[in-house]
Amino acid sequence: MDDKAMSLQKQKRWTSRPYLNWVSKLPCAACCLHDETIVAHHLTSRHSPWCGGMSYKASDIFVMPLCHTCHSAAHNGDADILDWQFTFIFDTLDKATRAGVLEVDNMKSKFPPDDGIVM
């Protein structure tokens, strides 16, 4: 395959149904609502280079918990949610590593979660 064809190939996504299920049990990253409508929302819209490109779903690592109302608002272009996606994702990743849900190069054993972390 030539270099041009290689550059057009779709990147392989990191997927994890267990991680998505865990994220959907967290409170909404935007409004803090904690109910059964929470879903794991993938990075989208204006951040397309990091979510695989236009029309591609981001890897499951780039998700944040959103309630139905905030999730709908995000998909309708609400800047109050879309502009904060990176912050919401970083917060979700922080919670996941502190809870031991995700491990980064075995850092879990070097930096255990602090006692009293509120999830």
d(CA 77, CA 21): 25
Which pTM was predicted?
0.76
Cα end-to-end distance, the chain, whole Å = 48
Are 3 and 96 spatial neighbours (Cβ–Cβ below 8 Å)?
Answer: no
* pLDDT of 44 over the 60 cut: yes
Q: Is residue 111 exposed (0-12), middle (13-18) or buried (19+ Cβ within 10 Å)?
A: exposed
* pLDDT of 69 over the 70 cut: yes
pLDDT band at 46 (very low <50, low <70, confident <90, very high): low
Q: Which of 33-42, 56-65, 108-117 is most confident?
A: 33-42
pLDDT band at 107 (very low <50, low <70, confident <90, very high): low
